[in-house]
Amino acid sequence: MTTIKTRSGTELYLKDWGQGRPVVLLHGWPLTSDTWDDFAMAAADAGFRAISYDRRGFGRSEQPWTGYDYDTLADDLADVLEATDAQDAALFGFSMGGGEVARYMSRHGGRRVSKAALIASVVPYMLETTDNPKGTPQSTFDGMTAAMKEDRAHFFQSFFKSFYGVGVFTGTVSDAVLDWSFNQAMAAGLKPTLACAQAFATTDFRPDLAHFRVPTLIIHGTGDQTVPIDAAGRAAAAGIPGAEIIEYDGAPHGLFASNKQQLTEDLLAFLRR
C-alpha cells in the first residue's frame, strides 16, 4: 500500500497511476479515492499521471482526532503534491474536494498548479445566510448531523439515493453502486464524517475565488439535490475570473457514476488543451 505522511504526521493512502503531466483528484464526502478510479484509468491510458488519495479520516487513510478543517486539508494536499513531486499539475475536486482546491489556491498560492476543475463542488458557500440566500438552511445540516449520530448506516442508505438521483431520474446508477458507496462511507470514522460535514457546510470559500489564476472548469448537474447548482456551480463560475461552466441538464450530484462517460470526456478534453 502506498502512503505519504503529512506535516502533522497523518498517513494518507495514495494511488499514483500512469506517467505524464499530473492530475490530482480529490474525492467527495463521505467517499474515497476509489470514486475516481474510472477517470484515473482513462487519464493514465491517455498519457497523464493520475494521483488520487483518501482524505484523512476516510477509506484507508489514518483517522486522527483533529485536522478536518479546510486549512489543514489544504495543507494535506500541499504535502501530497510535495511528496509526489507533482509539477504543472491539474487539480480536480469533486464535491467536498472542490473546497480543498479552493483553499489550496489561496493558502498555498496555487503553487505547482496549472489548471483546476470543480465538479459538483461545494464552492463557494453552501450555508444559507443573509448574504447567501440561495444556500442550504442550517436546519438541513443539523438534521443530517442528528440522523448520523442516531443511526449512521440508515442515514447513508437513504442519502445515496438522493446523491445519485435514484427515484428522481431513471436508471442513474445500479443498486451495486449504491452498495459500493455505502461501504465506502461506513469505512470512515464517525468523528471525521461529522467534522467534515460541518466543514463543507459552513466554510465560506468566497474570499478564495480571486486566487484562481489558472484556467478553471466547473461542471455541475442542474438536478443536483445534494449541492444545488445556484449556490454552488453557477456562483463559483460567476466569482472565478475566466471560469468556464458546463451544466449537465437534469443530472444529479454523483456525476462520476451517473454521467461517467460524459464527465470523463469533458475532463480529458480540458486536460488536453
Structure confidence by residue, pLDDT tens digits, 222-249: 999 999 999 999 999 999 999 999 999 9
**Is the pLDDT reported for residue 172 higher than 90?**
no
Cβ atoms of 230 and 222 within 8 Å: the answer is no
- DSSP state for residue 105 in the 8-state scheme: H
Over the chain, what is the mean pLDDT?
A: 97
Contacts of 83 (CB under 8 A, 6+ apart): 4, 14
Q: What is the β-pairing status of strands 11-17 and 3-5? A: antiparallel
Catalytic center residues? 95, 224, 253
Banded model confidence at residue 133, pLDDT cuts 50, 70, 90:
very high
CA dihedral over 155, 31, 163, 102, signed as positive or negative: positive
Decide: helix, strand or coil at residue 209: helix
User: Which pLDDT score is estimated for 113?
Assistant: 98
Work out the average pLDDT over 64-82.
Answer: 98
Work out the average pLDDT over 27-46.
Answer: 98
**Cell reading at 188:** 470512515
Whether the model pTM is above 0.85 = yes
User: Which pLDDT score is estimated for 169?
Assistant: 61
Number of domains in the chain: 1
User: Which pLDDT score is estimated for 167?
Assistant: 80
**Is the pLDDT reported for residue 1 higher than 70?**
no
Instruction: State the Cα–Cα distance between residues 70 and 96, nearest whole angstrom.
Output: 10
User: Which pLDDT score is estimated for 168?
Assistant: 72
Instruction: State the Cα–Cα distance between residues 271 and 273, nearest whole angstrom.
Output: 6
Q: Print the domain residue range for 42.
A: 3-272
Full DSSP string of 68-91: -SHHHHHHHHHHHHHHHT--SEEE
Give the DSSP H or E segment for 26: strand 22-26
147-169 per-position pLDDT tens digit:
999 999 999 999 999 999 998 76
Instruction: State the Cα–Cα distance between residues 129 and 114, nearest whole angstrom.
Output: 33
Work out the average pLDDT over 195-223.
Answer: 98
User: Which pLDDT score is estimated for 82?
Assistant: 97
CATH of the domain at 260: 3.40.50.1820
The CB-side HSE value for 242 (13 A sphere, CA atoms) comes to 9
76-131 per-position pLDDT tens digit:
999 999 999 999 999 999 999 999 999 999 999 999 999 999 999 999 999 999 99
